[in-house]
Structure 1
Amino acid sequence: MNSELVVDVQPQEISIAVLEDKKLVELQKEARDVSYAVGNIYAGRVKKLMPGLNAAFIDIGYKKDAFLHYLDLGPQFKSVDKFYKQALNDKKKFPLVSKMTLEKDIDKDGSISDILKVGQEILVQVAKEPISTKGPRLTSELSFAGRFLVLIPFNDKVSISQKIKSKEERARLRQLIQSIKPKNFGVIVRTVAEGKKVIELDNELKTLVKRWEENLPKIQKEKLPTLIYEETGRIVGLLRDVFNSSFQDIHVNDKEIFSQIKDYISIIAPDKKDIVKLYTGDLPIFDSFAVTKQMKALFGKTVTFRNGAYLIIEHTEALHVIDVNSGNRSKVLEAGQENNAFEVNSAAAEEISRQLRLRDLGGIIVIDFIDMSEGEHRSKLISRMQELMANDRAKHNILPLSKFGLMQITRQRVRPEMVVDTTETCPTCFGKGEIKPSILFTDSLRSKISYLVNKLEVKKFTLHVHPYIAAYIEKGFPSLKWQWKWRYGFGFKIIPDQSLAFLEYHFYDKDREEIDLKQDIELK
């Protein structure tokens, strides 16, 4: 399987697309002024106790207080609390975890009221981003994730990923980590650590310990609530989780982000550093790699997938519902209803597994497959879905088909669901329903080019328009494009942009900064 990462860096947001064999399977968007919350460590204050929920609300600086359940305190909470109090009591000397005597684990069936008090200061880490009306979900079991290892302070255990099956390899890794880890630091060995050399694991472990030592002293200086440790950016974080030997290319259209990614790849996989490539083409990077077109096709309510069959994806407050429809198919009579249903359901399972990753759907997902009467087909469909979701990094559980043909899936939700609006507001009338004659559209473009060149004296710029408009401007001899170039100079380019609506356009200067020419004002 050929995997590619395409990174589109824009002034307001960064979009990250993961392609497998040219198909879009994951999409992440991050506003550039918003930090990556999951993994961040805060010093906060207990705002309210909820004994009925056995939980507490913690003030960490968000608009909504964050939620901390008793079970998320972690067995070593007393040790974390002891460390925090020592750090605050003696600000001239920072306590060393390796020299501490760890406290006893808290009772698994205990009460939040026995552990926390209103106003108490506490160290917490974000486990889930704010979703919908809910604030962040927290844990007090602090951890620092690397590519091969996860470091857990106040814990002396070494755990090995269950996906590493070889007993010899599990024993090797356990013995190795036990010999190099500091005292009172636990380690989880991730699946990708299988077969790695001592030096690679040792270097990453030292890096993770260094993160702890460099960031935690902030609790002695900052006022509450405060950010103590900020997780790596979403791009590096995504790379850390998904990067593997199947990655062939990483394309990015920004020099600064390109350097960050190349530096990170040089550390974790020096032999792969050359796969990071700076995109300098004229077309928008997502258009060049067919990401925009796939986004338009895959994020609507209705998603077609094979021979007229389609999915209808609905969202409610409690769950997600996916309906499988066969559509108009010519094979019904030839193959028989049962075989036809199994064929459609198998193809639907493939598209559904893709949609779950792409939209990052979480919580409860109910799938209404086409009814099948044969037990063998029902069993094969379950096995097929399990196989397709094996590479899904989110924790999930798949239940057998019910007697009504419904499949229930629970899938871990860490971040808000990815939503891409595939509808377009008319850029000319702004939703009013009336536009100027479209035949005069190119005349309007020409007048604005004249205004840029002659009035604003902008000689080099690009004009982004819908691909149909670009084709019209470039057709014929002499084409409109060449007429404009001969009249206004050769310093501008016409760029077809699939993300634009039909009569939408944008001007950009040589530094790719947009030139604001309001479309509702006629230039003279």
Structure 2
Amino acid sequence: MNQIIVDVGISENRLAILEDEELVELYIERRNNKRIVGNIYKGRVVNVLPGMQAAFVDIGLEKNCFLYVKDALGQEYFNKKDFVDREISIKDVVKQGQEIIVQVIKEPIADKGARVTTNITLPGRYLVLMPDTQYIGVSRKIGSAEERERLKAEIEALKPENMGVILRTVAEGKSKDDFREDIKFLLKLWQKIEKEKKLGFAPRLIYKDFDLIDKTIRDTFSKNIHEFIINDENEYKSAMDLVELLSPNLKDRLSYFEESHDIFRHYKIESQIHKALERKIWLKSGGYIVIDSTEALTVVDVNTGKYVGITDLEDTVLKTNLEAAVEIAKQLRLRDIGGIIIIDFIDMSNEEDEQKVLNLLEKSLNKDRTKSKILGMTELGLVEMTRKKVRQKLESVMQKKCHCCDGSGKLLNEYTLLQRFEKEMRRIALHTSCEAVIFEVHPTAFKIFEEEFITRKEIEGLTKVQSFIVPNPSLNFDDLKTKAMGSLENVKKVLNDLSTK
């Protein structure tokens, strides 16, 4: 069974995708750091670099965005048979100081700014509208040649003049009526964007794409998802309205989870998130894999560990590698690892066994919506592959470098600590009659709680519990220790005693 579980909080929303109760994807959207992929901006070219065949564009973010020459040219250029990259220089496409309309196609990652394109795309439920091209395409995941031709014929009669369309995977088996409503909605959206383009000066936001929950409903919620569960009543009602508009046949699969329990703990997601941040992952057989990342690439090492096999060494190695291939594909997807990936499977002397492992790895990667490519096995027996970088890795979202060990270890970041504070406040409010509580935290974390004063007050207002935060140097940075709780009067006495020590 496939499920989408949404944990709505004051400081952040978390969305988990489960397959047979196993966490396979996790998305986190924070109040002050929301995703920008899909957003459309009026930007200004600040620098043109012919040597890199790229330009930097200011769209109002902290870092300028990267515009590659291929992303600066219209799609029609690439449909010409005589098109050659080197014939067109970036300086012939954009000029310094020029105002241009761009769409974000890749989030800022580490020290790199976002990547943008001038080829605007507007995703709907069943199709993607491309206002600047006349191309018609069909998702590669629709394998039937007959169905692909039928879909092309259906959309040809509906396609807006001088615009292009790509039919998404969920379009399989759908009719003209389904596509007609999608096109109607997207054309209205494009007309609104066209008006916004003419207003104001760069840099400015023209169109903001759906938030995490709405985007998941549009892009992921399909007949393959058996349950979509949200723990916030307002978000549930909003989601129901969108499902009614986009996929009314899926309404009965959307449900509201009462807030008397922690939804992620209820579905055993928290423990799986913790494991997704660990360096070593144990396999069911007793073998294990180790994942290490650098800025340039990620290395995965496979080991037999405690597994000794049943028949012979060759059989033990093959079974461990096959199990590892499935787990590696899952971990790359869950941890959102992109870029160059090197996998060091246990050495196999049989070429047929090597091919079995590669085939299973490729099959397992097919479940991943992010594009990946296996390049083969090197002479050293290392598997080379790539996975498209779209977002920050999960560890970058949830962790930061430890200030005590200069980056040699990692720990939960302040946002996760604040989220833990919120969950504990909710638990106290639901299961006790306490009026107030004292938490002890590391002095560095204490400063963060002081800076997040407004968020704390919102949490207090929601839970009707007053909180007091005191520093304790003996604690670790990610500790949140309950010192005392009870009536406001008694808690204040404890607080006074602490201040006099």
TM-score range, shorter chain: 0.7 to 0.9
Identify the range of structure 1 (402-411 vs 309-318) with the bigger mean alpha-carbon deviation: 402-411
Distance 1:423 1:513 in 2: 35
Q: Secondary structure at the match of 1:511?
A: helix
Distance 2:285 2:172 in 1: 42
Tell me if structure 2 keeps the 8 A contact 1:362–1:413.
yes
User: Quick one: distance in 1 between partners of 2:426 and 2:203?
Assistant: 46
Equivalence for 2:418: none
Confirm whether residue 385 of structure 1 aligns to residue 350 of structure 2. no
Equivalent residue number for residue 138 of structure 1: 116
Q: Distance in 2 between matches of 1:197 and 1:340?
A: 51
1:35 maps to 2:13 = no
The CA deviation string for residues 323-347 of structure 1, in whole angstroms up to 9 with x for no partner, is 111112242xx32111101111111
Name the residue aligned to 1:23. Answer: 22
Is the Cα–Cα contact under 8 Å of residues 54 and 66 in structure 2 kept in the other structure?
Answer: yes
- C-alpha distance 423-59 of structure 1, shift in aligned 2 (>3 A): closer
Alignment of 1:355-370 (within 5 A): 355-370=331-346
Structure 2 CA distance for aligned equivalents of residues 127 and 211 of structure 1: 19
Structure 1, unmatched stretches of 5+, are 79-104, 426-459, 466-480, 482-489, 494-505
CA distance in 1, matches of 2:97, 2:426: 57
Q: Which residue of 1 aligns with 2:489?
A: none
Letter matched to residue 343 of structure 1: K
Conserved? CA contact 2:282–2:288, under 8 Å? yes
1:511 matched residue in structure 2: 462
**Does the CA contact (< 8 Å) of 1:124 and 1:141 recur in 2?**
yes
Post-superposition shift, 1:401?
2.3
Instruction: Kindly indicate whether the alpha-carbon contact (under 8 Å) linking 2:340 and 2:384 is maintained by their aligned counterparts in 1.
Output: yes
In the TM superposition, residue 204 of structure 1 has moved relative to its aligned partner by 0.4
Give 3-state SS (helix, strand or coil) of 1:384's partner. Answer: helix
Cα distance in 2 for partners of 1:250, 1:422 equals 31
Helix, strand or coil for the counterpart of 2:150? Answer: helix
Q: 1:285 aligns with which of 263, 276, 299?
A: 263
1:415 matched to 2:391: yes
CA 408–107 in structure 1, closer or farther in 2 if over 3 Å, else same: closer
Which residue in 1 is equivalent to 2:373?
397
C-alpha displacement of 1:424: 12
* Residue pair 1:45, 1:59 contacting (<8 A) in 2 also: yes
User: Is 1:354 aligned with 2:319?
Assistant: no
What is the CA–CA distance in structure 1 between the aligned matches of 2:315 and 2:137, rounded to whole Å? 46
Structure 1 pair 58–36 and aligned structure 2 pair: CA distance change class (3 A): same
Alignment of 1:190-339 (within 5 A): 190-331=168-309, 334-339=310-315
Matched position secondary structure for 1:224: coil
Equivalent position to 1:120, from 94, 98, 106: 98
C-alpha distance in structure 1 between counterparts of 2:36 and 2:259, whole Å = 33
How far 1:7 moved relative to its partner? 0.6
Separation in 1, partners of 2:285, 2:192: 57
**Which whole-Å CA distance do the structure 1 matches of 2:357 and 2:385 have between them?**
14
- C-alpha distance in structure 2 between counterparts of 1:77 and 1:113, whole Å: 19
> Residues 32 and 513 from structure 1, CA distance in 2 versus in 1: closer, same or farther, beyond 3 angstroms?
farther
Distance verdict in 2 for CA 1:462–1:341, change over 3 Å: closer
Match of 1:44 in 2: 43
| Alignment check: 8 A CA contact 2:74 2:132 kept | no
- The percent of aligned pairs where both chains have the same amino acid is 36
Partner Cα distance (1:388, 1:134) in 2:
30
In structure 2, give the amino acid aligned to 1:463: I
Q: Given residue 428 of structure 2, which amino acid in structure 1 is its aligned partner?
A: L
Q: In structure 1, the residue corresponding to 2:260 is in which secondary structure?
A: coil
- Larger of the two Rg values belongs to structure: 1
Deviations along 1:426-477, one digit per CA (max 9) or x if unpaired, are: xxxxxxxxxxxxxxxxxxxxxxxxxxxxxxxxxx984289xxxxxxxxxxxx
Whole-angstrom CA distance in 2 between matches of 1:310 and 1:515: 46
Return the offset for 1:267.
2.4
Deviation at 1:390, TM superposition (A): 0.9
Question: What is the CA deviation profile of residues 6-41 of structure 1, one whole-angstrom value per residue up to 9, with x for unaligned ones?
Answer: 111111111111000000000011112333311111
Residue of structure 2 equivalent to 1:485: none
Distance in 2 of aligned mates of 1:423 and 1:343: 36
> After the TM superposition, which residues 84-103 of structure 1 pair with which residues of structure 2 at under 5 Å, given as runs?
none
After TM superposition, give the deviation of residue 519 of structure 1 in Å.
Answer: 4.6
Residue 11 of structure 1 aligns to a residue whose secondary structure is coil
2:200 counterpart SS class: coil
Quick check: 367-376 or 34-43, which moved more?
34-43
Moved more, 296-305 or 224-233: 296-305
Counterpart-to-counterpart distance in 2, 1:126 and 1:514:
41
> 2: CA distance between counterparts of 1:281 and 1:344?
42
SS in 1 for 2:495: coil
Give the aligned residue type for 2:8.
Answer: V
1:399-444 CA distance string (max 9 Å, x none) = 222232211110011111111449999xxxxxxxxxxxxxxxxxxx
Task: Tell me if structure 2 keeps the 8 A contact 1:161–1:190.
Answer: yes
- 1: distance between equivalents of 2:152 and 2:223? 24
Q: Secondary structure of 2:157's match?
A: helix
Provide the C-alpha distance between the structure 2 equivalents of 1:247 and 1:116, rounded to a whole number of angstroms.
Answer: 44
Encode CA deviations 1:203-226: one digit per residue, 9 max, x unaligned: 001111111111221122222101
Separation in 2 of the partners of 1:461 and 1:203? 42
For the 8 Å contact 2:429–2:463, the answer to whether it is kept is: no
SS in 2 for 1:356: helix
1: distance between equivalents of 2:193 and 2:172?
Answer: 29
Verify the 8 A CA contact 1:371 1:404 in the aligned structure 2.
no
Q: Which amino acid aligns with 2:371?
A: K
Report the alpha carbon displacement of residue 395 of structure 1 after superposing the two structures with TM: 1.0
Separation in 2 of the partners of 1:343 and 1:404? Answer: 20
1:461–1:491 Cα contact (<8 Å) kept: no
Is 2:232–2:259's contact at 8 Å kept on the other side of the alignment? Answer: no
Give the aligned residue type for 2:320.
V
Counterpart for residue 480 of structure 2: none
1:177 correspondence with 2:128: no
Question: Aligned residue for 2:127?
Answer: 149
For each residue in 1:138-183, what CA deviation from the matched residue of structure 2 results, as whole angstroms up to 9, or x when unmatched? 1111110112111001212212223323333222222221211221
Q: Secondary structure at the match of 2:3?
A: strand
SS in 2 for 1:306: coil
How far off is 1:76 after superposition?
A: 5.3
Contact persistence 1:45–1:224 (CA under 8 A): yes
Letter in 2 for 1:348: A
Q: 1:186 deviation in Å?
A: 0.6
Cα distance in 1 for partners of 2:161, 2:34 equals 32
Q: CA deviation at 1:265?
A: 2.1
What is the number of residues matched between the two proteins? 428
1:89-112, CA deviations, whole angstroms, 9 ceiling, x for partnerless residues?
A: xxxxxxxxxxxxxxxx98743001
- The answer to whether the 8 A contact 2:276-2:335 is kept is no
How far 1:264 moved relative to its partner? 2.1
Counterparts in 2 of 1:119 and 1:383: CA distance versus 1, 3 Å: same
Q: Are the equivalent residues in 1 in contact too, given 2:43–2:102 (CA < 8 A)?
A: yes
> Secondary structure of 1:320's partner?
strand
Aligned counterpart, 2:3: 4
